Structure 1
């Protein structure tokens, strides 16, 4: 019975579609329509925290003298503390090399040696670029004694990021510091449309190269006394490459 009714209804439509002047057009089944989708972005002010430059996974620094991070969507997340260890007093010109950084894997608990590095995150969403500079605030000092003529150098800069492409990679420079406390050196410059996301500037592409990538040159005739000599470096992140 259902089949008979269906055929009868179809015949009725055909008959009703006839007029005295011809045939009236009827809409076919189907057609198209549109729907909408949207997403709203806001500035990301969550701290990124230190990460492994090679895996981008969170790590914990093992050095108790950790550099405090800056806040905001454009931030310095981490800077390795530079240690040259304990050295014997020498009357010769000497070059000392910084120890490698040691980072603890938060998942496994393993401690791994890594090149010393600086970590920057840009979550502003402006793609405006940025610049990182550094100043050596004073000469290495031990009380009133200072390492006159000593030179601190950071070479073999290597930029790493999971977001890295030829187009969006900033420019990293070798750093030779003047201990006058005012002369800044460019570390990384990200032009417009570069440097978005998290970036690592490692001094040495791997631990082998990194072993001789940060050096302290001390003249032999510089007076030295027993004890620890230290200095501070001030890293400044500007929100424009200019």
Structure 2
């Protein structure tokens, strides 16, 4: 009887082990971690001009003006600034206000020429979202050889901002330049503003753009035949105003 009792106990023990083994195969397989990564490097490329009236257009844009200044390189850059042309004007003894000609670009593979407002293009690819500030100063009065256009005043009106980026817009306002060289505020982006590529047009479209940059010249100012020129210096700093 003792042998029988031990045999029964042994059978029960084997059945229990076999049942436990079945439950282990049916359980979850556990957890294991893996990694995903991305490495960022500073953006040092030059951003090419965009169509300011349609910044999201992927078609290539080429400025028509052969003398337009080259853009700056780096993660915070001035990509494009229109030269301001007032064309040929007859000498006048009256007070006159001359309006700047529109800028022009070639768009797409067909290089269709398009009249656009004069504009500035800024790109912030730093990733810090720290903001930035753009100013401009006039480096002296308009001159033609030894003749100076005394009392002439250059003004910019109707700023219009556009971007394909989704960041908050910078701010901009009208400004009038001082030939003595005092800097004027053009655009300013506070923290979390102005990331990506932004354009400031002077006029929301070609019609308004043709009325937005003016050169006022007193009638009493002496004038000689020939081209009067002035240089503007635009400065982009990496902190808000």
Same fold by TM-score greater than 0.5: yes
What SS class does the counterpart of residue 207 from structure 2 fall into?
helix
Question: C-alpha separation between the residues in 2 aligned to 1:105 and 1:198?
Answer: 18
5 Å-filtered alignment, 1:1-242, equals 18=16, 26=24, 27-29=26-28, 33-56=32-55, 57=58, 58-165=60-167, 168-181=168-181, 183-242=182-241
Q: How many Å separate the matches in 1 of 2:147 and 2:40?
A: 53
Cα pair 2:99 2:212 within 8 Å, conserved: yes
1: CA distance, partners of 2:93 / 2:206? 30
TM-score if structure 1 supplies the norm length?
A: 0.86
| Secondary structure at the counterpart of residue 120 of structure 1 | strand
CA distance in 2, matches of 1:180, 1:29: 79
CA contact (8 A) 2:53 2:116 kept: no
Taking a change above 3 Å as real, the CA distance of residues 50 and 137 of structure 1, as seen in their structure-2 partners, is same
Change (3 A) 1:201 1:33: same
Distance change >3 Å, CA 18–CA 137, structure 1 → 2: same
Separation in 2, partners of 1:143, 1:91: 20
In the TM superposition, what is the alpha-carbon distance from 1:68 to its structure 2 partner?
2.4
Q: Deviations over 1:99-152 (max 9, x none)?
A: 000101142211101110000111111111110000000111111111111110
Kindly tell me the number of residue pairs found equivalent between the two proteins.
224
**For 1:18, what is the secondary structure of its paired residue?**
helix
RMSD (Å) for aligned C-alpha atoms? 2.1
State which structure, 1 or 2, has the greater radius of gyration over its C-alpha atoms: 2
Give the whole-Å Cα distance in 1 for the aligned partners of 2:31 and 2:176: 65
- Structure 2 residue ranges without an equivalent (≥5): 1-12
SS in 2 for 1:224: coil
- State how far apart, in whole Å, the 1-side matches of 2:170 and 2:14 are: 73
Query: Does the CA-based 8 Å contact 2:100-2:211 persist in structure 1?
Result: yes
- After superposition, the Cα gap between the structure-2 partners of 1:17 and 1:163, relative to the gap in structure 1 and judged at 3 Å, is farther
Supply the distance in 1 between the matched residues of 2:170 and 2:220 (Cα, whole angstroms). Answer: 40
Q: Return closer, same or farther for 1:16/1:143 CA change in 2, 3 Å cut-off.
A: farther
3-state SS of paired residue (1:228):
coil
Q: Which runs of 5+ in 1 are unaligned?
A: 1-14
